[in-house]
């Protein structure tokens, strides 16, 4: 994130910077030795530092950030993207208004500048949580500057040296570059720059049909850009459940996002008309001209410049710092958490990993009682409209692991509240072990699938099976009733001719 330019420097971005990288900040004088030195103040680093310092045990904790406290999530990730998505949903409400008996105005005007200003205002408003001031008050020594490992358990920041007992690498990731001829020269946006836009790009090409590409393509299209999404595989969101991804793909097409699937971007050039993309699809070459290109084609871990080789921390430029299940690197005194070392690149995953690191660095003497990453039950949500939420195994994972499974799928077309809401595009799919009510995974597609998935995450984590879910009373009418319907559907599969006969006798006798 080092190259991020926070712009425009309006009152909101000034407020943001005052919180997350105050211009007048002077680094403290380091103590003799820190219990923990944490590198990177994104979610992972902030949670480690706040967790360790906030215990009231007098632990000495240093937190080093080279750019903006809050990292990607606050500044150029979850927070700004969800604010922009919210505005775009308002537009979609207008598009659909007629089916609710509400006549929209002939023309829905989007003030793109106002959308982005709203985002900047909200982002600044919540930035105190991640601020230098708050962390200083928590007792953390905050150092602003680029951190680099040195000899003898030290980290250098500028001309200061921090000695540590244990260190944590939480330096995150950035948008992966594409080595496409002419792309760099033509110029492109990434998540680091797209939220600085003040004017709507009229023609926008989005490269990559993963979560970033799909969320942003839909949002920008709804806000009035002509969006073309180039994805290299045959289907967008191709790591998700195929039925779920299909619903989002059809929604994007219906709304007017132009999808180019199986696309290879060959080269880019600038012309007077704009940025010209030359791409191939099924062997045929085509061109298109746009005003802006947004790259969302995966992430590269921030491993450079840390001197990791010197301290024996192994890493890979693509997958990041190598860690074991306890989040310990190949140097036993150095741990890692978040996007720098994990496949799960989510804020809540960085948070959960940070809690593991606190336990394993500070409260597991001789390795006793260490927590493991593999014990986590990790949900995630793609905030397209409708959203896709997932937790646990996919059918394919279960097959690969040789686990026999059964699947229950409830369409939202059969859920009263979804019908009333006009939000029937979606489903709840639950995967359970064959012959058992044990839930192994679930995918939900719904307008607010993210709000629904935690019930199933809790069921998996708390080892509550479908029998228990079936007994849980769900308020009527809610879309979450689909989960109970799935559990009831499972219960019905347990009825055998003998148990049915028995129930018949009981009914006669009653
Ligand atoms: C557009 C977008 C939308 C997203 N939406 C969601 C979402 O809705 N939900 C969700 O769960 N996740 C979302 N994510 C993912 C989420 O933002 C990341 O998983 C999360 O921010 C990872 O946190 P982290 O602490 O590992 O890394 P980061 O947030 O990247 O923080 C790392 C920090 O380390 C600093 N740093 C790097 N090198 C050094 C160094 N040498 N010295 C000092 N400091 C250094 C960086 O400046 C940065 O501040 C989104 C990401 C993007 C890009
Ligand atoms: N809602 C969320 O939680 C959320 C939102 C945004 C991002 N994120 C996190 O950030 C990570 C990064 O997101 P992302 O979407 O950039 O990465 P991604 O790796 O998840 O998806 C990128 C997609 O782009 C495709 N691609 C790669 N090169 C391409 C090319 N040259 N042309 C066309 N397509 C190409 C890939 O096949 C892939 O499917 C995600 O994995 C996710 O963990 C999370």
Q: If residue 419 lies in a helix (H) or strand (E), which one and from where to where? A: helix 416-421
| ipTM, interface predicted TM-score of the complex | 0.98
pLDDT tens digit sequence for 290-312: 999 999 999 999 999 999 999 99
d(CA 337, CA 194): 26
Q: Domain 386-493: give its CATH superfamily.
A: FAD/NAD-linked reductase, C-terminal dimerisation domain (3.30.390.30)
Say how many Å lie between the CA of residue 21 and the centre of ligand 2. 28
d(CA 379, CA 346): 9
Strand partners, 52: none
CATH architecture of 11-84+114-175+300-375: 3-Layer(bba) Sandwich (3.50)
Q: Is the pTM of this model over 0.90?
A: yes
What the block records as the tokens of 189 is 């946006």
- Answer yes or no: are the C-beta atoms of 165 and 153 closer than 8 Å: yes
- pLDDT at residue 343 tops 50: yes
Q: Which of 175, 188, 208 to mutate to test the pocket of ligand 2 (most atoms within 8 A of CB)?
A: 208
Banded model confidence at residue 465, pLDDT cuts 50, 70, 90: very high
CATH architecture of 183-296: 3-Layer(bba) Sandwich (3.50)
Q: Is the CB of 219 under 6 A from ligand 2?
A: no
Say how many Å lie between the CA of residue 3 and the centre of ligand 1. 14
- In sequence order, which ranges of 143-260 are alpha helices (DSSP H)? 183-186, 211-222, 242-255
Shortest CA distance to 303 belongs to which of 287, 283, 317, 284? 317
Banded model confidence at residue 5, pLDDT cuts 50, 70, 90: confident
d(CA 501, CA 507): 10
Specify the pLDDT at position 378: 98
Q: Is the CB of 131 under 6 A from ligand 1?
A: no
d(CA 34, CA 165): 6
47 DSSP 8-state letter:
H
Span 210-236, average pLDDT: 98
d(CA 229, CA 221): 10
Strand 34-39, strand 405-411: pairing: unpaired
Span 409-431, average pLDDT: 98
10 is in an annotated binding site: no
Specify the pLDDT at position 2: 44
Ligand nearest to the CA of 232: 2
Q: Is the CB of 334 under 6 A from ligand 2?
A: no
What is the SS3 assignment for 258?
strand
- Answer yes or no: are the C-beta atoms of 200 and 224 closer than 8 Å: yes
Phi, psi (degrees; rounded to nearest 5) at 136: -65, -45
189 DSSP 8-state letter:
B
pLDDT tens digit sequence for 448-462: 999 999 999 999 999
What the block records as the tokens of 224 is 């009035």
Tell me the pLDDT of the chain averaged across its residues: 97
* Same-fold call for 11-84+114-175+300-375 versus 183-296: yes
d(CA 445, CA 339): 26
Say how many Å lie between the CA of residue 266 and the centre of ligand 1. 29
Strand partners, 269: 276
Ligand nearest to the CA of 305: 1
Residue count (the chain): 510
Span 152-156, average pLDDT: 98
Q: So where are the chain's domains?
A: 11-84+114-175+300-375, 183-296, 386-493
Ligand nearest to the CA of 82: 1
Cα dihedral 481, 445, 376, 70, rounded to 10, equals -120
Banded model confidence at residue 260, pLDDT cuts 50, 70, 90: very high
Say how many Å lie between the CA of residue 50 and the centre of ligand 2. 30
Estimate to the nearest angstrom the gap between the alpha carbon of 108 and the chain centroid: 30
What value does the CA radius of gyration of the chain take, rounded to a whole number of Å? 25
Shortest CA distance to 130 belongs to which of 22, 28, 212? 22
Specify the pLDDT at position 160: 98
- pLDDT at residue 474 tops 70: yes
Which atom of ligand 2 has the smallest separation from the CA of 344?
43
Say how many Å lie between the CA of residue 173 and the centre of ligand 1. 6
Specify the pLDDT at position 4: 58
Which atom of ligand 1 has the smallest separation from the CA of 147?
42
pLDDT tens digit sequence for 238-257: 999 999 999 999 999 999 99
Q: First CA to last CA across the chain, in angstroms?
A: 70
């Amino acid at each position: 994130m080092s190259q991020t330019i926070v712009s425009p420097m309006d009152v909101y971005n000034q407020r943001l910077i005052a919180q997350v990288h105050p211009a007048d900040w002077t680094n403290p004088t380091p103590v003799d030795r820190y219990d923990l030195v944490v590198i990177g103040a994104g979610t992972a680093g902030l949670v480690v530092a706040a967790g360790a310092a906030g215990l009231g045990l007098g632990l000495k904790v240093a937190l080093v950030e080279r750019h903006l406290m809050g990292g990607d999530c606050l500044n150029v990730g979850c927070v700004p993207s969800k604010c922009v998505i919210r505005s775009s949903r308002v537009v979609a409400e207008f598009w659909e208004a007629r089916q609710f008996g509400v006549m929209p105005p002939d023309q829905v005007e989007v003030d793109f500048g106002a959308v982005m200003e709203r985002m900047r205002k909200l982002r600044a408003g919540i930035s105190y949580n991640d601020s230098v001031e708050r962390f200083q008050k928590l007792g953390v020594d905050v150092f602003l500057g680029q951190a680099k490992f040195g000899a003898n358990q030290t980290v250098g920041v500028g001309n200061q040296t921090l000695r540590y007992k244990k260190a944590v690498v939480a330096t995150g990731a950035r948008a992966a570059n594409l080595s496409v001829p002419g792309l760099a020269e033509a110029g492109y946006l990434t998540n680091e720059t797209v939220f600085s836009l003040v004017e709507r790009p009229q023609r926008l090409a989005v490269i990559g049909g993963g979560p970033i590409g799909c969320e942003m393509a839909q949002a920008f299209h709804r806000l009035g850009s002509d969006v073309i999404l180039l994805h290299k595989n045959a289907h967008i969101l191709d790591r998700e459940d195929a039925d779920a991804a299909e619903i989002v793909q059809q929604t994007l097409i219906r709304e007017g996002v132009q999808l180019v699937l199986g696309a290879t971007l060959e080269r880019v050039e600038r012309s007077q008309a704009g940025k010209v993309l030359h791409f191939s699809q099924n062997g045929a070459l085509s061109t298109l001209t746009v005003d802006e290109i947004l790259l969302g084609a995966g992430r590269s871990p921030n491993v450079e410049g840390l001197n990791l080789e010197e301290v024996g921390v192994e890493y890979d430029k693509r997958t990041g710092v190598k860690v074991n299940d306890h989040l310990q690197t190949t140097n036993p005194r150095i741990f890692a958490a978040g996007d720098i070392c994990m496949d799960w690149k989510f804020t809540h995953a960085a948070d959960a990993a940070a809690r593991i690191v606190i336990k394993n660095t500070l409260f597991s003497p001789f390795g006793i009682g260490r927590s493991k990453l593999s014990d986590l039950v990790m949900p995630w949500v793609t905030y397209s409209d409708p959203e896709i939420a997932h937790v646990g195994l996919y059918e394919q994972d279960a097959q690969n692991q040789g686990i026999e499974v059964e699947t229950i799928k409830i369409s939202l077309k059969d859920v009263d509240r979804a019908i009333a809401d006009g939000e029937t595009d979606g489903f709840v799919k639950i995967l359970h072990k064959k012959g058992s009510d044990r839930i192994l995974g679930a995918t939900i597609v719904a307008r607010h699938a993210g709000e629904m998935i935690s019930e199933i995450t809790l069921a998996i984590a708390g080892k509550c099976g479908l029998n228990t879910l079936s007994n849980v009373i769900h308020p009527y009418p809610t879309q979450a009733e689909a989960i109970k319907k799935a559990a009831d559907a499972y219960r019905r599969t347990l009825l055998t001719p003998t148990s049915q006969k028995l129930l018949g006798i009981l009914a006669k006798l009653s």
